[in-house]
Amino acid sequence: MSVHTYQQKQAMHQRLTSLYARKMRHIPASLFINQRKPTFKEVVLESNQCNFVGSIPGKYDLGWSFSNFNRLAHWGFQACKSHNFDEMELAKGIWFLGLDVKHSFSARSEHSVLNMLCVLFTHALPDPDRVCEVALTADFRNSLHQAFEVNALYASTAYDTVLQERFLETWNHNAADLDVIVWKPSQRDAMQRLIKSIQAVDKLATAVPPLLFPIEHFFMQAQKQPEDVKAERQRAEAALRDDMADLTDSIADMGRDALDYLNDPHSFRNSDLLSALAVPVDENIQPLPEQVHRSWMNPSTAIKMVKGEISGVDDLVGMMANMGVGM
């Protein structure tokens, strides 16, 4: 029988719900198996709803996100290159979880979709290196293509992440310090207008033989809008107002040490996930400035390429038809 007073339970509930709101804010709903964020009660009970989709490596689970919140916040939730092993593990987690929309394998990321489109366009050129920011970017481009391809085709199932890991090593250690293309809003809008104007998907579907990688998949994914943020927040707030007695009883059932997290989060032996959630947030964190690296292709060049202003891409359908399976 629990000896905790109602006031203790209420204080614990308020502390944990506050941490839940802070830490869950940066985690995309699309990571979870039902495409929605788990409620606080589901986190307390370690419901299956707390599980990420199968395409996310198991070591980067919700508990990892909770326990590393302060380190992620220090990095501004941005993927940063580093030669330190622990820091690179953090960068990999950010990539796989899509915490940085500019550096993500997710087909929901517009930055990622447009990067992949540019890779496919570039592969079809007679001399790809001349449109890239620096010469000899083939290894970077091919590694990027393979990593995005497998993620798009198997986005909701478990698969071997060796191609993503290989790309991340190339991204982190390439001699030219190359990065993916980081689009400004105006450049992103210009690319989207071009995509709509040429209606590439319809043409490819009828005029091009089967490709190693179906480019139309990316357009379909890009058109899928993530769950409405406001509605998600309202559901979460409603769940937090759930019956206090039911919730605190569930917490109390986990054992006599349920309040020990206030002094030592690691002593909360009955729930690893709740222990990770209970790690206090450092209110004095100063985010690091954003890293700036050289994009493998200049965004302005990419826009010209899609417009057909660069020799070799005048005919979109013909260009795509020339793409070989060995790219």
Looking at the fold, whether 215 and 326 belong to one and the same domain comes out as yes
Looking at the fold, whether 6 and 74 belong to one and the same domain comes out as yes
Looking at the fold, whether 203 and 118 belong to one and the same domain comes out as yes
Looking at the fold, whether 173 and 244 belong to one and the same domain comes out as no
Looking at the fold, whether 182 and 303 belong to one and the same domain comes out as yes
Please say if the pLDDT value at position 178 is more than 50: yes
- The per-residue pLDDT for range 157-168, each reduced to its tens digit, is 556 788 899 999
Looking at the fold, whether 86 and 38 belong to one and the same domain comes out as yes
Looking at the fold, whether 11 and 85 belong to one and the same domain comes out as yes
Secondary structure (H, E, C), the chain: CCCCCHHHHHHHHHHHHHHHHHHHCCCCHHHECCCCCCCHHHHHCCCHHHCECCCCCCCCCHHHHHHCHHHHHHCCCCCCCCCCHHHHHHHHHHHHHCCECCECCCCCCHHHHHHHHHHHHHHCCCCHHHHCCCCCCHHHHHHHHHHHHHHHHCCCCCCCCHHHHHHHHHHHHCCCCEECCCCCHHHHHHHHHHHHHHCHHHHHHHHCCCCCCCCHHHHHHHHCCCCCHHHHHHHHHHHHCCCHHHHHHHHHCCCHHHHHHHCCHHHCCCCHHHHHHHCCCCCCCCCCCCCCCEECCCHHHHHHHHHCCCCCCCCHHHHHHCCCCCC
Q: For the whole prediction, is pTM greater than 0.95?
A: no
Looking at the fold, whether 3 and 78 belong to one and the same domain comes out as yes
Looking at the fold, whether 122 and 194 belong to one and the same domain comes out as yes
Looking at the fold, whether 20 and 73 belong to one and the same domain comes out as yes
Q: What is the pLDDT of residue 103?
A: 94
Q: What is the pLDDT of residue 325?
A: 29
Average pLDDT, the chain: 75
Number of domains in the chain: 2
Looking at the fold, whether 186 and 313 belong to one and the same domain comes out as yes
Q: What is the pLDDT of residue 258?
A: 40
Looking at the fold, whether 129 and 28 belong to one and the same domain comes out as no
More confident residue, 320 or 150: 150
Residue ranges making up the domain that contains 194: 109-223+297-327
Please give the share of the chain, as a percent, with pLDDT higher than 70: 66
- The per-residue pLDDT for range 14-71, each reduced to its tens digit, is 889 999 999 999 999 989 988 899 998 888 888 888 999 888 888 999 999 999 999 9
